[in-house]
Amino acid sequence: MDSASPGHFVTEHLVQQFHLRKFKAHVPVQGINEVTKTTRYAASLVIKCRFSNWGTKIQCAVLPKITGIIPATFVDSSDWVIPEGLMLADEHFSKPNSNDILLGADVFLGVLRHDKMRPGNYPVLQETEIGWIISGKIPLSVPEEVPRKSFFTSIITT
């Protein structure tokens, strides 16, 4: 999820994997350092939560890739104080993986709930309609060897 993105994005890989129907849509997308790319397609998706009745239909710009692998390296969360039984939106958050969907600001703000926790000097746990998310600075054992990643997207309207 991206609290600053005005749009939603999905990878071509996920569109093909789930046999989603694409339609033509030329959407200019701007990122870090004002790099602009124009998508050629969009797709409609229905997003549903694994453990509640929450769901929404969104239209996503289709991209070959949304981000690089995140996190850049395995995150050892074994000493984090994550309460047992907490339903995480991404139970594999500590393992490097690709990101096939980016949900924009309207979904991000719509799924937030009030509860949040900060277990010690670790990232914040925030309750959402789709499960608890983990956000913030992650303590790394070898920070100088891990590339810094930051993401920003903007849909350009004329």
The domain of 56 spans 8-146
Question: How many Å apart are CA 133 and CA 93, to the nearest integer?
Answer: 9
Tell me, yes or no, whether 48 lies in a domain.
yes
Tell me, yes or no, whether 116 lies in a domain.
yes
Question: How many Å apart are CA 45 and CA 106, to the nearest integer?
Answer: 15
Tell me, yes or no, whether 131 lies in a domain.
yes
For 35-68, how does the pLDDT look when each residue is reduced to its tens digit (9 = 90+)?
888 899 999 999 999 888 999 999 999 999 998 8
For 81-112, how does the pLDDT look when each residue is reduced to its tens digit (9 = 90+)?
888 889 999 999 889 999 999 999 999 999 99
State the total domains in the chain.
1
